[in-house]
Structure 1
Amino acid sequence: MAKRKSIKKKGNREELAKEKFFKLNKKSDENDASVWFKRGMDTSDPEKKLECFKRAYKLNPEFENLLLQMAEVLFQAGKKDEAFELFDMIFAINPDSENAFLNKGAFLFEDGRDEEALELYARAVILYPENDWMWVNRGNSFSRLENYEKALECYTRALEIDPEAAETWFSKAGVLNTLDRNEEAIEAYDRGLALNKKIFEGWVGKGAALQKLERYEEALETYEKALKLNPKCADIWISKADMLQILKRDPESLKAYYKALEIEPDNFYSLLSSARILMRYSKFQDALNYADAALKCSPKSLEALKIKGDANYFLGRHRRALQAFKKILAISPKDPEIWISKGCAANYSGSFEEAIESFDMAFALGSETSSARAHRAYSLRKLGKYEDAFENYDRALTLDPENLNIWDAKGVTYSYLKEYEKALECFDKLLAIRPDDLSALNNKGTVLYDLERYEEALECFNRAFEINPNFQEAKKNRQIIARILKEKKTS
């Protein structure tokens, strides 16, 4: 923020307190510009302040301090043109007014008119080369115009004049940070913090520089110091949460994002980050809630829509997942991963033709994965197109021979065709590598049951039940086979 030099009131506090209750009893006082000026300075009401200043102005139109204070009141009231007219009047009276240069430059900065501010300061620093505020304000405008080298020169000059100005050190550090001169930035932040440890922005800036250098533990400590000074700043909680996430301390990170959301409930970044972490921990309903909240802030957020789609998919709400993926593709139609996700959701929604079209789009966009081919095979199998399904399973195995689940799916497809021996070959290939695969054990047992090889079937179901006693399908099949064998034994 650009600095404006305050106009100091004359007299001590006791005198000013008396003036606050001063009444214009004498006619001579009514015609004294300084009295009206003091009354204006003593009131906090902007309208009354301006009224007093105007009375003073009528009595003394060349009272510089009065004009500066009037400009301040008018500018803050949104009457910017009138405020700048007063500066023209001051310069007409005193072309080299130091306070007018400072205040007008600051107003131009606040109004976003940096080029004009720089033009003004170019003259000011010639007249007042030892005024550090002129250099700081000039640096602020250069910085906002992204002329960082010039800004750095200005801050460096200001610090030559006043090396004890903590905020100037922070301004210089901020520019060094932007220029990725992070070690120098940290040194500058440390110089400023040595002068004033209670400016939280200094700690935040230092944390950002440490973060760029991947010194995450130190950055975290720095953000925590900033939070002690300003615990109500959502951005600092977010920075802390980001560091914790990088350090793989997700539960703590989530708590920090929650703190940020207590302060700013509609903070899109915190909502989305929370949803992202919750997805990693398979807390799908909570993730969905945060993704929905994020979408209220940014309805076209692709990541929030993806989380919504994925969360619904894992919650078994496949049609809702399908709708979310469709919304993403309406915005970004060339994302092959989303086409694959859409295909999977369409499969489980019973829309097999739509699923095949989705997988084909993904393949056309250059993303032919083993998993996608296997899912496409599933679509074909459900449509009764078994030969095409086998071609896709074989292609999936070519793409990834380690994808053992394909052998299970291929075996199930053979069982539908009552080609039981081929089905058993598929299950055995999988079980030779992964002997505790519950699905393959159960499916093999089912095929053996269909072949009336009950003892072998029971071995499969027993093995599955032994691995996981809560596997209900194997438990049920085991009971059926045991009953059949018992009946055969008694008959």
Structure 2
Amino acid sequence: MKFNHEEEQNFSITRYESMLRSNDVKFFDSDEFESIIHHYLENGKIAKAKKAISLGLSQHPSSVNLKLLHVEVLVFEDRLDKADHLLAQLHALEPENEEIYIQKANILSKQNNHLKAIKLLTTALGYTDDPADVYSLIGMEYLFMDDFENAKVNFMRCLEADDEDYSALYNVIYCFDFLEQHEEAIEYLNLFLNKNPYCEVAWHQVGKQYFDLKEYEKALAAFDFAIISDEYFIGAYLEKGKVLEKLKRYNEAIENYRITLELDDPTSFALLRIGKCFEKLGNDDLAIQHYSKTVHEDPLLDKGWIAITDFYMRNSNYQKALYYINKAINIDGENVLYWKRYAKINNKLAFFEEAERGYRKALELGNYELETWLNRSDILRFLGESKAAIQSLHQAIEFYPENAEVRYRLAGLYYENQNFEKGEYHIRKALDLDYEYHIVLEELFEKVFNLTMVKNIILEYK
């Protein structure tokens, strides 16, 4: 009875692991050892791979392929000098072995010497029977250097050698996208589809390009062709749903998202989008039901918690909004989007100390939006914390030195605290920046605005 390659590999691995358990050393030919080592490397079992390499070389000390696998592990472990030394020995034995050049290029790549790596990979092309893999490696080296044009060319060459290398196809499109060459990407994909008319991945990418160009009807047609090519292609249904949303065809979008739920386990993205569609259709019950399913499916997805919170905020149900944003913060207390909403909700509920805490936390997490600084300073002033409000606004000036709104607030606070010199300094700065915006002073600091000394300064700039 003959075994296929996969059955042979499984048999070798089973026999090998049985040998390890029994401590009874058996003979394996070098091909079997290669198969066993590849299995362990592909599954991330480095220690087991190293053990198999050691045993393999003890039985086949002259095997170049096993030594190359040893090099691969050495490179993975960043033992580059030892790997380089071993490669030099192997090169003397087999100067036309392309894998030696590939591994040497890998070492150079790790050392950020990408041009030399490309030179060696180009040499490897002269010896290899599988140019597709080498072109792909050259493409990656150009990507490391942010040379997207040359990267694109080499991934294209990879596809010419192997039109089923979809990772290369994705990389080609990645280069087009980075270069913002959407029209050129469509032209290339259409040429590719002329040779491979039922390539669902290519149709999917065409659709995404049209989506980026806002040509939604063409995008829809492309995703339909992707689905015709592979009716189980979940990505095409998801993208089609996004296009239908843009076209305001929400019921059809829901239908496509639901197909993905039938084809595979529910995804939080699909559940969230269904919820958004139901909300657009005015079906609040089904919207909130799907938002709840979203966070149940993936509690770490901030978009789910934000969707529920924003839903209740839009409906002015701030108590429920606060309940859900508190749940979100309990799961991820470092999410700045949560703290911004926490602050706004507490502000609406007149829980000002909690609102200030939310804005302060947002700033600590790096949310330096002007609105955050202004809202926090207004609340601090309301709470009687004028010094803290002034300090916060001075921090805001570091990020927004030319913003009049910050300066008017500082002027108002200094005048309220009887520091007329600093008050005058900041009101003049503010008036220089934007005279018309002195309305801020009138609205927020009415008593200050009505001071004769302030009115006289404003009149100077009229």
Q: Give me the identity figure in percent.
A: 16
Q: What is the aligned partner in structure 1 of residue 206 from structure 2?
A: 104
Tell whether 2:355 aligns with 1:222. Answer: no
Kindly tell me: are residues 328 and 79 of structure 1, through their superposed partners in 2, closer, same or farther at Cα, counting changes over 3 Å? Answer: closer
Structure 1 residue 179, shift from structure 2 partner:
5.6
Structure 1 length normalisation: TM-score? 0.56
Q: Work out the CA distance in 1 between the residues paired with 2:286 and 2:326.
A: 22
Question: Unaligned stretches of 5+ in structure 2?
Answer: 1-37, 45-67, 73-96, 101-123
Q: 1:68 aligns with which of 150, 169, 172?
A: 169
Tell whether 2:264 aligns with 1:237. Answer: no
Q: Work out the CA distance in 2 between the residues paired with 1:336 and 1:271.
A: 15
SS in structure 2 opposite 1:24? helix
1:76-115 CA-to-partner distances (Å, cap 9, x unmatched) read 5526355444312221112232111223323444566655
SS in structure 2 opposite 1:239? helix
1:360-388 CA-to-partner distances (Å, cap 9, x unmatched) read xxxxxxxxxxxxxxxxxxxxxxxxxxxxx
Tell whether 2:242 aligns with 1:140. Answer: yes
Q: What is the aligned partner in structure 2 of residue 478 from structure 1?
A: none
1:45-100 CA-to-partner distances (Å, cap 9, x unmatched) read 4779768645534545x446365144244235526355444312221112232111
Q: What is the aligned partner in structure 2 of residue 94 from structure 1?
A: 196
Q: Work out the CA distance in 1 between the residues paired with 2:251 and 2:279.
A: 12
* Larger CA Rg, structure 1 vs 2: 1
Tell whether 2:375 aligns with 1:277. Answer: no
Tell whether 2:276 aligns with 1:184. Answer: no
Q: How does 1:120-135 map to 2 (within 5 A)?
A: 120-125=222-227, 128=230, 130-135=232-237
Q: 1:258 aligns with which of 357, 360, 368?
A: 360
Tell whether 2:120 aligns with 1:24. Answer: no
Kindly tell me: are residues 127 and 54 of structure 1, through their superposed partners in 2, closer, same or farther at Cα, counting changes over 3 Å? Answer: closer
Q: What is the aligned partner in structure 1 of residue 297 from structure 2?
A: 195
SS in structure 2 opposite 1:193? helix
Q: What is the aligned partner in structure 1 of residue 416 from structure 2?
A: 314
Letter in 1 for 2:41: E
Structure 1 residue 163, shift from structure 2 partner:
6.4
Q: What is the aligned partner in structure 2 of residue 211 from structure 1?
A: 313
Structure 1 residue 230, shift from structure 2 partner:
3.9
Q: Work out the CA distance in 2 between the residues paired with 1:117 and 1:16.
A: 38
Structure 2 length normalisation: TM-score? 0.59
Letter in 1 for 2:134: W
Q: Work out the CA distance in 1 between the residues paired with 2:457 and 2:354.
A: 45
Question: Unaligned stretches of 5+ in structure 1?
Answer: 1-10, 358-491
Q: Work out the CA distance in 1 between the residues paired with 2:455 and 2:305.
A: 55
Structure 1 residue 152, shift from structure 2 partner:
4.2
Structure 1 residue 208, shift from structure 2 partner:
1.8
Structure 1 residue 336, shift from structure 2 partner:
11
The answer (yes or no) to whether the contact 1:33–1:57 under 8 Å persists in 2 is no
Q: How does 1:40-55 map to 2 (within 5 A)?
A: 45=144, 53=155
Q: Work out the CA distance in 1 between the residues paired with 2:194 and 2:287.
A: 42
Q: Work out the CA distance in 2 between the residues paired with 1:34 and 1:133.
A: 26
Structure 1 residue 171, shift from structure 2 partner:
1.8
Q: How does 1:59-458 map to 2 (within 5 A)?
A: 59-60=161-162, 62-63=163-164, 65=166, 68-75=169-176, 77-78=178-179, 80=181, 83-109=185-211, 114=216, 116-125=218-227, 128=230, 130-144=232-246, 151-159=253-261, 161-162=263-264, 164-177=266-279, 181-264=283-366, 266-291=368-393, 293-294=395-396, 296-297=399-400, 299=402, 304=406, 307-317=409-419, 320=424, 323=428, 330-331=435-436, 338=442, 345=449, 347-349=451-453
Structure 1 residue 201, shift from structure 2 partner:
2.3
The count of aligned residue pairs is 345
Structure 1 residue 140, shift from structure 2 partner:
2.0
Q: Work out the CA distance in 2 between the residues paired with 1:180 and 1:257.
A: 32
Kindly tell me: are residues 12 and 269 of structure 1, through their superposed partners in 2, closer, same or farther at Cα, counting changes over 3 Å? Answer: farther
Structure 1 residue 182, shift from structure 2 partner:
3.8
| Greater Cα shift, 151-160 or 164-173 | 151-160
Letter in 1 for 2:181: K
The answer (yes or no) to whether the contact 1:278–1:287 under 8 Å persists in 2 is yes
Q: Work out the CA distance in 1 between the residues paired with 2:219 and 2:404.
A: 38
Kindly tell me: are residues 84 and 352 of structure 1, through their superposed partners in 2, closer, same or farther at Cα, counting changes over 3 Å? Answer: closer
Structure 1 residue 238, shift from structure 2 partner:
0.6
Q: Work out the CA distance in 1 between the residues paired with 2:292 and 2:447.
A: 55
Q: Work out the CA distance in 2 between the residues paired with 1:134 and 1:231.
A: 35
Structure 1 residue 301, shift from structure 2 partner:
6.5
Letter in 2 for 1:246: K
Letter in 1 for 2:435: A
Kindly tell me: are residues 167 and 345 of structure 1, through their superposed partners in 2, closer, same or farther at Cα, counting changes over 3 Å? Answer: closer
Q: Work out the CA distance in 2 between the residues paired with 1:37 and 1:212.
A: 53
